[in-house]
Amino acid sequence: MLTNRCETITTEEGDKKEEMEPVRGAFRVCVYPSWALKKVPDNTKEKKKTDSRKKNKDYTSQVVIPYVEGVSERVHRVMKKYGVVTATRPHTTLRCQLVHLKDKAEFTEQGELVYQIPCKNSGPEYIGETGRLLKTRLDEHRKAQTTRTMRHTQGRD
Protein backbone atom coordinates (compact mmCIF):
# COMPACT_ATOMS: atom_id res chain seq x y z
CA MET A 1 0.00 0.00 0.00
CA LEU A 2 1.25 3.50 -0.69
CA THR A 3 0.91 4.69 2.90
CA ASN A 4 2.95 1.73 4.09
CA ARG A 5 5.65 2.69 1.57
CA CYS A 6 5.68 6.24 2.98
CA GLU A 7 6.10 4.93 6.52
CA THR A 8 8.86 2.41 5.77
CA ILE A 9 11.03 4.21 3.21
CA THR A 10 11.18 7.73 4.62
CA THR A 11 12.88 8.28 7.97
CA GLU A 12 12.31 11.96 8.73
CA GLU A 13 8.91 13.41 9.59
CA GLY A 14 9.19 16.20 7.00
CA ASP A 15 9.91 13.71 4.25
CA LYS A 16 7.00 11.52 5.37
CA LYS A 17 4.60 14.47 5.11
CA GLU A 18 5.89 15.31 1.62
CA GLU A 19 5.56 11.68 0.55
CA MET A 20 2.01 11.41 1.94
CA GLU A 21 0.71 14.50 0.09
CA PRO A 22 0.44 12.81 -3.35
CA VAL A 23 -1.19 9.80 -1.68
CA ARG A 24 -3.79 12.01 -0.02
CA GLY A 25 -4.40 13.70 -3.38
CA ALA A 26 -5.00 10.31 -5.00
CA PHE A 27 -7.44 9.42 -2.21
CA ARG A 28 -9.35 12.66 -2.79
CA VAL A 29 -9.53 12.05 -6.55
CA CYS A 30 -10.96 8.59 -5.89
CA VAL A 31 -13.54 10.22 -3.58
CA TYR A 32 -12.41 8.59 -0.35
CA PRO A 33 -13.92 10.19 2.77
CA SER A 34 -11.64 12.42 4.83
CA TRP A 35 -11.83 10.12 7.88
CA ALA A 36 -10.32 7.31 5.79
CA LEU A 37 -7.27 9.47 5.04
CA LYS A 38 -6.70 9.97 8.76
CA LYS A 39 -7.35 6.36 9.70
CA VAL A 40 -4.85 4.76 7.29
CA PRO A 41 -1.68 6.15 8.91
CA ASP A 42 -3.05 5.28 12.36
CA ASN A 43 -3.64 1.66 11.30
CA THR A 44 -0.08 1.31 10.02
CA LYS A 45 1.27 2.58 13.35
CA GLU A 46 -0.88 0.06 15.25
CA LYS A 47 0.34 -2.77 13.03
CA LYS A 48 3.94 -1.82 13.71
CA LYS A 49 3.30 -1.95 17.45
CA THR A 50 1.77 -5.42 17.31
CA ASP A 51 4.52 -6.68 14.98
CA SER A 52 7.22 -5.51 17.36
CA ARG A 53 5.50 -7.28 20.26
CA LYS A 54 5.46 -10.53 18.32
CA LYS A 55 9.13 -10.22 17.42
CA ASN A 56 10.17 -9.54 21.00
CA LYS A 57 8.57 -12.71 22.35
CA ASP A 58 11.09 -15.50 22.39
CA TYR A 59 9.47 -18.82 21.66
CA THR A 60 11.58 -21.83 22.51
CA SER A 61 9.93 -24.29 20.13
CA GLN A 62 7.03 -25.03 17.83
CA VAL A 63 4.52 -27.87 17.89
CA VAL A 64 1.92 -29.00 15.35
CA ILE A 65 -1.06 -30.81 16.87
CA PRO A 66 -4.20 -32.30 15.33
CA TYR A 67 -7.25 -30.09 15.78
CA VAL A 68 -9.78 -31.38 18.29
CA GLU A 69 -12.59 -28.97 19.08
CA GLY A 70 -12.33 -27.61 22.59
CA VAL A 71 -9.06 -29.39 23.36
CA SER A 72 -6.72 -27.72 20.88
CA GLU A 73 -7.57 -24.23 22.18
CA ARG A 74 -6.77 -25.26 25.75
CA VAL A 75 -3.50 -26.87 24.71
CA HIS A 76 -2.59 -23.71 22.78
CA ARG A 77 -3.16 -21.53 25.87
CA VAL A 78 -1.09 -23.81 28.13
CA MET A 79 1.77 -24.10 25.63
CA LYS A 80 1.80 -20.32 25.14
CA LYS A 81 2.57 -19.87 28.85
CA TYR A 82 5.71 -21.95 28.39
CA GLY A 83 6.80 -20.18 25.21
CA VAL A 84 5.80 -22.95 22.81
CA VAL A 85 4.06 -21.96 19.58
CA THR A 86 1.29 -24.37 18.58
CA ALA A 87 -0.22 -24.83 15.17
CA THR A 88 -3.16 -27.09 14.41
CA ARG A 89 -3.89 -29.30 11.45
CA PRO A 90 -7.07 -31.21 10.59
CA HIS A 91 -7.47 -34.91 11.44
CA THR A 92 -8.72 -35.86 8.02
CA THR A 93 -7.84 -33.92 4.95
CA LEU A 94 -9.40 -34.06 1.54
CA ARG A 95 -6.26 -35.79 0.29
CA CYS A 96 -6.58 -38.52 2.93
CA GLN A 97 -10.14 -39.20 1.87
CA LEU A 98 -9.51 -39.19 -1.88
CA VAL A 99 -6.06 -40.71 -2.29
CA HIS A 100 -5.41 -44.32 -1.31
CA LEU A 101 -1.89 -45.27 -2.29
CA LYS A 102 -2.40 -49.00 -1.72
CA ASP A 103 -5.30 -51.13 -2.84
CA LYS A 104 -7.01 -52.93 0.00
CA ALA A 105 -6.05 -56.59 0.09
CA GLU A 106 -8.78 -59.20 -0.22
CA PHE A 107 -9.63 -60.83 3.08
CA THR A 108 -8.46 -64.21 1.81
CA GLU A 109 -5.13 -62.68 0.77
CA GLN A 110 -4.27 -61.74 4.36
CA GLY A 111 -2.17 -63.73 6.77
CA GLU A 112 -1.40 -63.74 10.49
CA LEU A 113 -5.01 -63.97 11.60
CA VAL A 114 -7.62 -65.96 13.52
CA TYR A 115 -10.51 -67.41 11.50
CA GLN A 116 -13.77 -69.27 12.07
CA ILE A 117 -15.33 -71.91 9.80
CA PRO A 118 -18.94 -73.02 10.36
CA CYS A 119 -19.53 -76.77 10.02
CA LYS A 120 -22.12 -78.00 7.50
CA ASN A 121 -23.48 -80.75 9.72
CA SER A 122 -24.67 -78.27 12.40
CA GLY A 123 -21.72 -79.25 14.54
CA PRO A 124 -19.42 -76.91 16.40
CA GLU A 125 -17.62 -74.18 14.49
CA TYR A 126 -13.92 -74.58 13.80
CA ILE A 127 -11.75 -71.70 15.04
CA GLY A 128 -8.14 -71.62 13.89
CA GLU A 129 -5.10 -69.42 13.71
CA THR A 130 -2.69 -69.21 10.81
CA GLY A 131 0.41 -67.33 9.84
CA ARG A 132 -0.07 -68.17 6.18
CA LEU A 133 -2.56 -66.69 3.75
CA LEU A 134 -6.16 -67.42 4.70
CA LYS A 135 -6.83 -68.59 1.13
CA THR A 136 -4.18 -71.31 1.47
CA ARG A 137 -5.52 -72.48 4.83
CA LEU A 138 -9.14 -72.58 3.60
CA ASP A 139 -8.05 -74.66 0.59
CA GLU A 140 -6.42 -77.14 3.02
CA HIS A 141 -9.67 -77.36 5.01
CA ARG A 142 -11.65 -78.03 1.81
CA LYS A 143 -9.21 -80.75 0.73
CA ALA A 144 -9.35 -82.35 4.15
CA GLN A 145 -13.18 -82.27 4.06
CA THR A 146 -13.30 -83.90 0.60
CA THR A 147 -10.79 -86.53 1.72
CA ARG A 148 -12.96 -87.37 4.77
CA THR A 149 -16.07 -87.50 2.58
CA MET A 150 -14.35 -89.83 0.07
CA ARG A 151 -13.14 -92.16 2.85
CA HIS A 152 -16.62 -92.26 4.35
CA THR A 153 -18.27 -93.12 1.02
CA GLN A 154 -15.67 -95.82 0.29
CA GLY A 155 -16.19 -97.31 3.72
CA ARG A 156 -12.64 -96.75 5.01
CA ASP A 157 -13.70 -95.03 8.24
Rounded to a whole number, what is the distance in angstroms from the first to the last CA of the chain? 96
The answer to whether residues 38 and 18 belong to one domain is: yes
Q: Could you tell me which residues come within 8 angstroms of residue 37 by beta carbon, excluding any fewer than 6 positions away?
A: 24, 27, 28
Return the pLDDT at 2.
Answer: 62
User: Is 101 domain-assigned?
Assistant: no
Q: Which domain holds residue 70?
A: 61-96
For 93-118, how does the pLDDT look when each residue is reduced to its tens digit (9 = 90+)?
Answer: 788 788 877 777 888 888 889 988 88
Return the pLDDT at 136.
Answer: 92
Return the pLDDT at 144.
Answer: 86
| Domains of the chain: total | 3
Those residues of the chain that have pLDDT short of 70 are 1-7, 37-59, 121-122, 156-157
Return the pLDDT at 73.
Answer: 92
